[in-house]
Structure formats: C-alpha cells, structure tokens
Amino acid sequence: MSSVGLSWIPNALTILRCLLVAPVAWFIYQQQFFAALVTFSFAGFTDGLDGFLARRYQWQSYLGAILDPIADKLLMTVSYIVLTVIGIVPTWLMLAVVVRDIVIIAGASIFRWLHGPYMMSPSKAGKMSTFLQILLVLWLLVEQSFELSGQHISTALIWLTLIVTIYSGLEYVVTWYRKSQGMKQTH
C-alpha cells in the first residue's frame, strides 16, 4: 500500500483523541486517577503522532487543520472543568484557561469576519501556556494516582499556569488588535 493510501491516519488519530475526551472526563470524575492518567497520556501521544505523520509524509489536510486544535482544546477544557468539579483545580484557574480559549477563538473569528482569512502561528507564550496547562494536568493526575505529597509543586504549577495563560491571552488580543489596525490603514 502506498503512503498516499495511508494519509487518513492523522485524521483518524485526531478523531480518536476526540473520542478519548469522554473516558478521560469519566475517569477523573470517578477519581480513577491512574486510568485518567493513562488515557490522557495516550491522547497526548496521539496528538504528537498525528502531527509527526502529517508533517513527515505531507498528509496535512483541511479537515485535520480544523479538527486537531478542536480535539486539543476539547481535551484540555474538559479536563480542567472536571478537575475543578471534583475540587482539585481552583475555579479561577479553570475560568482563565477556558476564557483564554474563548477569547482566542472569538478574536480569530471576528478578525476573519472583518478582514478575511489570516493564518496566525502560536506565539511562544501561547505554546508555553499550552505546555504548562498539559504539564499541570499530568502532574495532578500523577500526584493523585500515586498519592504523592507534592502540594508545593502543584501550587507553583497552578500559579505559573495562571500567569502564563493570562499573559498569552492578552498577547493574542494585542496581536489581533494590531493586525486589525494595520489592515485598516492599508485600505
């Protein structure tokens, strides 16, 4: 079978990641933290693998470009919401994570509506925010799974995640605003 015949694999992995959101949420809600850790980690692995395959074999697709960030946001948002519901993540951190994503999506949508399509690459702060959000979920699941007493680590990660999440959200707002102003001046 040619590699072109396998080009569906990255999208299948992305769809699988979407399907894994429900089990991750259920395991966290049921406080089956080790099962949540394994499932969340596997979902993360599928994210890395689909990206690698898409780039390595030029299997990028329009569907994948839409589904991949949706799958990522869905997994993170649901994880934060359920971790908040069971009392492990503070409500204010969950709100910062969710509101940041809403602001980014709304900003991109408004920009597209006003000015047309524009591809914006994630900023360093945006990548760091995503990294810290994932790291915090993983750490909390490890901490709960193995009954570690890493409260100082958890507290530091929570505050660092909050600061970088807010900073990156504001950075996106400023970037969209500047781009919008620049485009108005050229017309």
pLDDT digits 0-9 by tens, 114-133: 888 766 678 899 999 999 99
pLDDT at site 110: 86
pLDDT at site 53: 96
Query: Which tokens hold the place of 11?
Result: 């999208």
Extract the runs of DSSP E, i.e. beta strands, from 77-124.
none
Helix 33-56 vs helix 62-85: angle between axes, to the nearest 10 degrees? Answer: 160
pLDDT at site 176: 82
Count Cβ atoms below 10 Å from residue 146 Cβ, excluding itself.
11
* Distance separating alpha carbons of residues 141 and 10, to the nearest angstrom: 27
pLDDT at site 117: 77
pLDDT at site 180: 79
pLDDT at site 1: 53
pLDDT at site 4: 65
Residues 23 and 54 in one domain: yes
161 lies in which domain range?
89-187
In-domain check, residue 31: yes
Residues 60 and 101 in one domain: no
Segments of the chain with pLDDT less than 50 = none
Residues 33 and 96 in one domain: no
In-domain check, residue 81: no
Count Cβ atoms below 10 Å from residue 58 Cβ, excluding itself.
10
Query: pTM score > 0.75 for this model?
Result: yes
